Amino acid sequence: EGVVFDVPSVQAGPLTSSYTYHSPLPSALELNKREPCVLGVDEAGRGPVLGPMVYGICFCPLSKYDQVSKLGFVDSKTLKESHRESHFQLIQSNLENIAWSVRVLSPQDISWNMLKINKYNLNAQAHDTTIQLIQQVLAQGVNVTKIYIDTVGPPESYKTKLSNIFPGIDITVEKKADSKFPIVSAASICAKVTRDQVLKHWTFVEKGLKSSKIFGSGYPSDPNTMYWLKNNMDPVFGFPQVMRFSWSTCDNLLKKLAAPVIWPEEAPQGSITQLFEQEENKQEKPQSKLFMEMGLKCVSDF
């Protein structure tokens, strides 16, 4: 199954870890890297239970921003897939003035971070990804003087956080920035097209798995997504790694449809000094819950 058009930000093979893609710098900046630039940030796939979350940035010289704005970029969420792809191709055909980057956060990394003892929540992951992408652009010597960001959480506190990290840059954080600022709209298109293509050409890491790739939108409210979830779950092994296991949708389906499992509880471990205690001083170890439930007892002591 071949890719209909070239999306260089989509890697071949299974998505087993997060990665970043950067397009080349615009030729307009190769002549003068210190030319002031405007940069936009947006994401795709924050809410879905399936697939990656993708953060996108797009930037261009301020002197070219009016020209870029006239290309007609709008919020990717308002476009049909074919129109998003057309807008993406328009970006690709204007790389002399525009550059873009995406950070693809794998579902495994999202889940692992959210299920840690010290939870690394989605807002924190989103903030750190945005900061990382901006820092990488600045590290290339690009003179970013203006940033527009579609907000994650309260815009005021997010702006303060970013302004402390990037002093001297004029930062605007707003709700619906993807529908207000063309450079953010362009970033949203890069993020959304990348996510769409990653899912369309998903390679299951599970060997021998014959599972449908008709995922729907990935949102639990989508009937096609719920159909996929209910028909592609193994009762013992659960879901493939395209699933975000930290989502309550996944947890609820596993509790409802998966085979019940009783996990044995290990008895408390003694210290090394207890090995040398006198026999009469030894205390009987409490039995595990599994032993008590099954009526088992030890017949020898080591």
Cβ atoms of residues 107 and 51 within 8 Å? yes
- Is 178 annotated for ligand binding? no
With CA atoms as reference, report the closest residue to 169 among 131, 225, 211, 209: 131
Spatial strand order of the sheet with 53-61 comes to 19-22, 99-105, 53-61, 36-44, 143-150, 170-174
Element (H, E) at 129: helix 122-139
Cα-based distances in Å from 75 to 52, 179, 259:
19, 5, 43
Q: Using the CB atoms, write b or e for 78-95: b if 16+ within 10 Å.
A: ebeeeebbebbeebbebe
- Rounded CA-CA distance 233/200 in Å is 19
- Is 43 annotated for ligand binding? yes
- Is 6 annotated for ligand binding? no
With H, G, I as helix, E, B as strand and everything else as coil, classify residue 149.
strand
Known binding-site positions: 42-43, 150
**From the annotation, which residues make up the binding site for a divalent metal cation?**
42-43, 150
